[in-house]
Amino acid sequence: MTEEVSLASQVASKWRKKRGSLIMALHEIQDVKGYVPWEDAVDIANGMNVPLARIYEVLTFYNFFKLDAPGKAVISVCTGTACYLKGNDKVLEEFKKQLGINEGESTSDRMFHLQVVRCVGCCGLAPVCVVNGKTYGRITPADVSKILEEWKNKLDEDKE
């Protein structure tokens, strides 16, 4: 908690004198944390003397800014032409079903984040998905539970 406050306060004091730099300050928070937490937005508001209401106007205007912590394992399902024709839409549906979320969302336990990408540059392996940098090729809906199981175990190990 103390660490969180100090990051936002540092960022705020860095940018407070420069006019029109709110977006830069918010970027810095998101770069470090992956999203902009409420507490950090409050600290930026106090530190830069900008109303909190204005900060949230900016945060919710730009799609880039995230207000919630993304999942620890980011699943990118490719729906580029090759992957799509090879049936990745069905794999995507299976991920949604098993995780109980839509694309662009995270599970409530913050374990998984599901997103759709357009081509990851290895069409020869189509259809593919990428989880935190690890690529899975020639996948079918039947592989989904295996992939999720693998990452659940991995994240549990990391926790311990």
Partner 1 sequence: MVNLKIDNFDVDVPAGTSILDAARTVQIDIPTLCKHPDVDPSAGCGICIVKVNGRIMRSCCTPVAEGMQIITSDPEIVNVRRTVLELILSNHPNECLNCIRSGHCELQDLTNTFGIRSSNLPSLNKKYEIDDSTHSIVLDPSKCIVCGRCVEVCQNQQNVWALSYLNRGLATKITAAGGIKLADSPCIKCGQCSAHCPTGAIVEYDETQKVWDMLADPELVTIVQIAPAVRVAIGEEFGYDFGENLTGKIYAALRRLGFNKIFDTNFGADLTIIEEATEFVRRFTKEPESLPMFTSCCPAWVDMLEKYHQDMIPNFSTCKSPQSMVGAMAKTYYAEKNAIDPAKIRVISVMPCTAKKWEIVRSEDMRSSGFQDVDVSITTRELARMIKQAGINFRALPEEKADNPLGEYSGAATIFGTTGGVMTAALRTAYFYITGEELENIDFKEIDGLEGVKEAEVDIKGIKVRIAVAHGAGNVETVLNRIREAKANGEELPYHFVEVMACRGGCVSGGGQPRVMMPGQPKPRGITDDIRKKRAQGLLNEDLQAKNRRSHHNESIKTLYKEYLGEPNGEKSHHLLHTHYEPRRKYSK
CB of 125 within 8 A of CB of 83? no
In whole angstroms, the minimum distance from the beta carbon of 45 to partner 1 comes to 8
Closer CB to partner 1, residue 42 or residue 116?
42
CA nearest neighbour of 98 among 156, 151, 160, 158: 151
Whole-number Å distance between alpha carbons of 10 and 150: 39
- The contact pattern for partner 1, residues 56-85, with x = CB under 8 A and - = no contact, is xx-xxx-----x------------------
Residues 12-41 interacting with partner 1 (rule: CB under 8 A): 38, 41
Tell me how many residues contact partner 1 (CB under 8 A): 14
Residues 99-138 interacting with partner 1 (rule: CB under 8 A): none
* 44 sits near partner 1 (criterion: CB under 8 A): no
- Which parts of 57-111 are beta strand (E)? 73-78, 105-106
Place of tokens 């394992």: 73
CA nearest neighbour of 94 among 113, 107, 110, 77: 77
In whole angstroms, the minimum distance from the beta carbon of 78 to partner 1 comes to 27
Report the Cα 148 to chain-centroid distance in Å: 17
Closer CB to partner 1, residue 52 or residue 85?
52
In whole angstroms, the minimum distance from the beta carbon of 56 to partner 1 comes to 4
Place of tokens 């659940």: 152
Closer CB to partner 1, residue 56 or residue 84?
56
Largest CA distance in the chain: 55
By CB under 8 A, name the binding residues for partner 1: 38, 41-42, 51-57, 59-61, 67
